[in-house]
Amino acid sequence: MKGWISMAKKENWEKKENWDNFTDSGGNYSFNEEMLNQAFEAAKKIYKERGFQRRMGYGKAPAVTTVDMAKAWMSDGHPFTCENNEEICANALKVLEAARKTGVPIFHTTTGYTGERQLDLCKWDEKIPMRTLDINSDWLKIDPKINPQPDEPVIHKKYASNFFGTHLAETLYHLGVDTVIVMGCTSCACVRHTVMDSTGYGFKTIIPEGTIGDRVPGVIAWNLFDMDAKFADVEPLENVVKYLEGIDKSVYKRDI
């Protein structure tokens, strides 16, 4: 193997993409934050008039799931690298440490594909460079900045949502979980799909502020605003930490 993928495999690519020499040129884009906030304020009025933006609240038995917080997203130098990954990981670590102290279950996920031919690769590669996500690559390891623990399962998913095609929902039901705390990236894709599925499976869904990543400014703010209006509660980081610190392990259906 050379780089992320073998030369033999690249020769079979229809587009002949070469990612071995990828250079991250950064993502320091600018946008009119004031204008975006004005749009949010106007939208809030519309939503509230129509009964949106209600609060789910916190349940008694939470679990934490991280979305693609592997090195390919949370470390510099990969096509999937997210902006401000150091800050995102630092904030996520506060939530994870609070969960670890009280025994709240934590499930990590990452998206990766197997072997030379990557037969488990979906049609997604026609839109974005999914072939760079070799499941055995170092890039697919959960980023050390969030200090993953040996007893925290890592689910290897193939699509956007942490739930789609995985055992996550069944495992959470078995544990008696009623609340899912979602962190990771990206806000517009895998996080959003995970949040929507979490609510669809019947869980209260919480997103701690400052723990969601993406590559383009404005995308995070818009998606958090929209998810908070429709699918989840976007909560201050310190509130989520305090909530987790108060959990008693006896609330779960099995000893953990």
pLDDT tens, 75-94? 999 999 999 999 999 999 99
Residue 86 φ/ψ, nearest 5 degrees: -65, -45
Helix (H, G, I), strand (E, B) or coil at 183: strand
More confident of the two residues 49 and 68: 68
The fold adopted by the segment(s) 57-248 is Rossmann fold (3.40.50)
Confidence grade of residue 33 (pLDDT, cut at 50, 70, 90): confident
pLDDT the model gives residue 11:
42
Structure tokens at 101: 């102290």
Q: Locate tokens 């705390």: which residue? A: 181
Is residue 190 annotated as part of the catalytic site, yes or no? yes
2 pLDDT higher than 50:
no
pLDDT the model gives residue 28:
58
pLDDT the model gives residue 18:
60
Report how far residue 217's alpha carbon sits from residue 36's, in angstroms, rounded to the nearest whole number. Answer: 11
Say whether the peptide bond before residue 186 is cis (omega within 30 degrees of 0).
yes
Confidence grade of residue 23 (pLDDT, cut at 50, 70, 90): low
pLDDT the model gives residue 79:
93
Per-residue pLDDT tens over the stretch 132-190: 899 999 999 999 999 999 999 999 999 999 999 999 999 999 999 999 999 999 999 99
235 pLDDT higher than 80:
yes
Residue 147 φ/ψ, nearest 5 degrees: 50, 60
Could you say which of 82, 185, 188, 190 is catalytic? Answer: 190
Report how far residue 54's alpha carbon sits from residue 67's, in angstroms, rounded to the nearest whole number. Answer: 24
The β-bridge partners of 142 are 70
User: Where do the structural domains in the chain lie, given as residue ranges?
Assistant: 57-248
More confident of the two residues 67 and 35: 67
Q: Mean pLDDT for the chain? A: 89
